[in-house]
């Protein structure tokens, strides 16, 4: 089943894809994108409350192929049960970021302040660096990344967006 929102067509679209929880499903999805020349910007996948299914949240890039073609091809995979396009206005979106940031005695307070402003937490402390976690909308994580990059990012890992439709 395919449900398409009628939003304008920006470059990136958020798809919520319910798939059967079977071996090789991710390979089928990834293989389809590779052989059709579709681009995945980010991808998050985990089981749902129903053990038969997993939910895959993907941000796809529609520069190379129109969204309808991506969705229709995806829908042809036998293990793909349902595809929703989530328009940003009608979805709650979250992403988790972990970052290890260089700090010294002088700027450590500054970094901690920035983390606090974005609602993040310091979760590990080293001699000359901090590891922080931040949960937020992807754009806010982008902004945070920009703010902290002058301090020096040792390591960063983002999970990719997960999303669900808004209730109202």
Residue 41, Cβ density class (10 Å: 0-12 exposed, 13-18 middle, ≥19 buried): middle
Count of residues touching another protein (by CB under 8 A): 25
What character string, x for contact with another protein (CB under 8 A) and - otherwise, covers 80-99?
A: xxx-----------------
Q: Does 1 bind another protein (CB under 8 A)?
A: yes
**Residue number, 24 or 150, with CB nearest to another protein:** 24
Tell me which long-range contacts 143-151 makes (C-beta under 8 A, separation of at least 24): 143/118, 144/97, 144/114, 144/118, 144/120, 145/97, 145/99, 147/114, 147/118, 148/99, 148/101, 148/111, 148/114, 151/101, 151/102, 151/103, 151/107, 151/110, 151/111
Query: Smaller CB distance to another protein: residue 2 or 123?
Result: 2
Nearer to another protein, 5 or 107 (CB): 5
Sign of CA dihedral 54, 78, 159, 5: negative
**Of 6, 8, 9, 78, which lies in the binding site for another protein, with binding defined by CB under 8 A?**
78
Min CB(57)–another protein separation in Å:
17
Taking each helix axis as running N to C, give the angle between helix 25-36 and helix 67-76, from 0 to 180 degrees, rounded to the nearest 10: 140
The answer to whether residue 121 forms part of the interface with another protein (CB under 8 A) is: no
Contacting another protein within 38-77 (CB under 8 A): 52, 66, 68-69, 72-73, 75-77
Residues in contact with another protein by CB under 8 A are 1-2, 19-20, 23-24, 27-28, 31-32, 35, 52, 66, 68-69, 72-73, 75-82
């Amino acid at each position: 089943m395919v449900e398409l929102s009628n939003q304008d067509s920006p470059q990136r679209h958020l798809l919520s894809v319910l798939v059967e929880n079977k071996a090789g499903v991710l390979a089928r999805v990834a293989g389809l994108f590779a052989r059709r020349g579709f681009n995945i910007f980010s991808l998050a996948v985990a089981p749902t409350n129903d053990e038969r299914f997993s939910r895959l949240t993907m941000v796809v890039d529609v520069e190379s192929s129109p969204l309808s073609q991506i969705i229709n091809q995806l829908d042809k995979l036998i293990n793909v049960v349902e595809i929703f396009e989530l328009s940003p206005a009608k979805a709650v979106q979250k992403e988790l970021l972990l970052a290890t940031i260089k700090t010294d005695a002088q700027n450590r307070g500054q970094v901690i302040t920035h983390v606090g402003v974005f609602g993040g937490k310091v979760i590990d402390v080293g001699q000359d660096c901090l590891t922080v976690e931040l949960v937020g909308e992807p754009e806010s994580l982008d902004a945070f990344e920009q703010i902290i990059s002058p301090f020096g990012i040792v390591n960063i890992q983002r999970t990719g967006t997960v999303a669900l439709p808004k209730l109202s």
